[in-house]
Amino acid sequence: MYILKIASTAIVLTILCLVVKQYKPEYAVVMQLGSFGVIAFLIMSSLGELLGMAKDVAEMSQINMEFFILLVKALGVAVVAQIATEICNDSKNSTLAFGVELAGRIIILSMCIPMIKAVAEIAVEMIKG
């Protein structure tokens, strides 16, 4: 049911943004960013519960918590990069959007190098033994 609250809020805010854009186009981008802030706040309120459940699952499956934290951070980078990319695209600045997207990918790849190294070490041990 939480999605209904988010979806209905998004629809109302979209209509408000369209009205503002008709009368004051210069305020449309500010209105869109504010609207996104409202939606982000609604999402954040349920994010804590989701992370708690994911942590419980990670502990039950005996996953290295260091890797779990790394995955959560990588997800955060991906979400922030995607949001920034969409804002740049909405502002008709596709070159900057591409730069943000590329930076996000490179940062995620660099964050995951320790995990890739650990998987490679396990693979080498399995091949040897």
Give the phi and the psi of residue 64 in degrees, each rounded to 5.
-60, 120
Q: How many CB atoms lie within 10 A of CB 95?
A: 7
CA-to-CA dists, residue 76 to 31, 44, 51, 79, 104, angstroms: 24, 12, 12, 5, 10
pLDDT at 104: 95
Determine contact, residues 77/55, Cβ cutoff 8 Å: no
Q: Rounded mean pLDDT of the chain?
A: 87
Determine contact, residues 101/81, Cβ cutoff 8 Å: yes
Residues 6+ apart with CB under 8 A from 54: 68, 72
Instruction: Note the residue count of the chain.
Output: 129
The residue ranking higher by pLDDT, 20 or 62, is 20
Cα–Cα distance between 22 and 66 in angstroms, integer?
50
pLDDT band at 110 (very low <50, low <70, confident <90, very high): very high
pTM assigned to the model: 0.68
Residue 11 pLDDT greater than 80, yes or no? yes
Q: Any idea which of 23-27, 50-54, 84-88, 116-120 has the lowest mean pLDDT?
A: 50-54
pLDDT tens figures, 34-84: 888 888 888 887 777 777 887 787 778 777 778 888 888 999 999 999 989
The residue ranking higher by pLDDT, 111 or 56, is 111
Q: Which contacts (CB < 8 Å, 24+ apart) does range 99-103 have?
A: none
Q: What mean pLDDT comes out for the span 90-117?
A: 92
